[in-house]
């Protein structure tokens, strides 16, 4: 699995390109803008973008969805609880991720906890981590986790929004993310800390497991 961490927009968003080394199938996680920077990495690996994945529905992480979908033909994946943030779609444009074969024309596939996203020989597991929003997810695979705005390298996402919950966020961090192996690399949704990458072991020092 190839990971490219791409810093985009004035909001210091991290977009991620994840490429299967064998087949060159790829996903783009939270492509918020700065498309020349994003596609220079796509072209570097001769990758084919199969899916756009939003870790949650807030605009600073979703503003590039339309551009990438039109350019690549990729489908959009987002947790069903954050679909309400995505505008400009019809009911027929959506399908449950696990039922996509029944609606091959669907542009938006709705994720739930423990869904498995396959790109070539690479697998990413969906971890539902509500707190920053009701539909926040993390993506875990090959000892890496993409945490969006659930967990940064030095801090967490806001919980003062209408569908936020400080209690849910703490539960998501302590009882989901921090239960992963200590060596798991944490790739956050913003560059809000001194370092762009952390580990589960490091975050346990801040948040503990109880």
User: Distance between CA atoms of 31 and 35, rounded to whole angstroms?
Assistant: 8
What is the dihedral sign for C-alpha 120, 123, 128, 132?
Answer: negative
Cα 150 from Cα 188, distance rounded (Å): 8
Per-residue pLDDT tens digits for 109-143: 999 999 999 999 999 999 999 999 999 999 999 99
- Bridge-based pairing of strands 144-148 and 116-119 is unpaired
DSSP structural state of residue 35: H
Q: Which domains does the chain have, with CATH numbers?
A: 2-207 (3.60.15.10)
State whether residue 111 is helix, strand or coil: strand
| pTM listed for this prediction | 0.95
* pLDDT at res. 92: 77
Can you give the pLDDT at residue 208?
A: 65
Model pLDDT, residue 206: 87
Quick check: helix, strand or coil at residue 124? strand
Are residues 13 and 61 in contact, defined by beta-carbon separation less than 8 angstroms?
yes
What letter would DSSP give residue 74?
P
């Amino acid at each position: 699995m190839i990971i490219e961490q791409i810093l985009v927009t004035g909001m210091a968003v991290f977009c991620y390109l994840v490429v299967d080394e064998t087949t060159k199938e790829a996903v783009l996680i939270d492509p918020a803008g700065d498309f020349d920077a994003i596609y220079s990495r796509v072209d570097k690996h001769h990758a084919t973008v199969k899916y756009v994945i939003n870790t949650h529905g807030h605009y600073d992480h979703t503003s590039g969805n339309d551009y990438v979908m039109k350019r690549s033909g990729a489908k959009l994946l987002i947790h069903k609880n954050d679909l309400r943030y995505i505008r400009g779609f019809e009911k027929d444009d959506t399908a449950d991720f696990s039922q996509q074969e029944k609606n091959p024309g669907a542009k938006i596939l709705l994720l739930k906890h423990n869904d498995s996203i396959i790109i070539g020989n690479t697998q990413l597991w969906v971890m539902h981590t509500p707190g920053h929003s009701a539909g926040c997810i993390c993506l875990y695979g090959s000892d890496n986790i993409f945490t969006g705005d659930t967990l940064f390298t030095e801090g967490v996402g806001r919980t003062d929004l209408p569908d936020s919950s400080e209690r849910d966020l703490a539960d998501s961090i302590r009882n989901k993310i921090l239960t992963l192996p200590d060596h798991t690399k944490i790739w956050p949704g913003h560059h809000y800390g001194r370092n762009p990458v952390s580990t589960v072991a490091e975050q346990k020092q801040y948040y503990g497991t109880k």
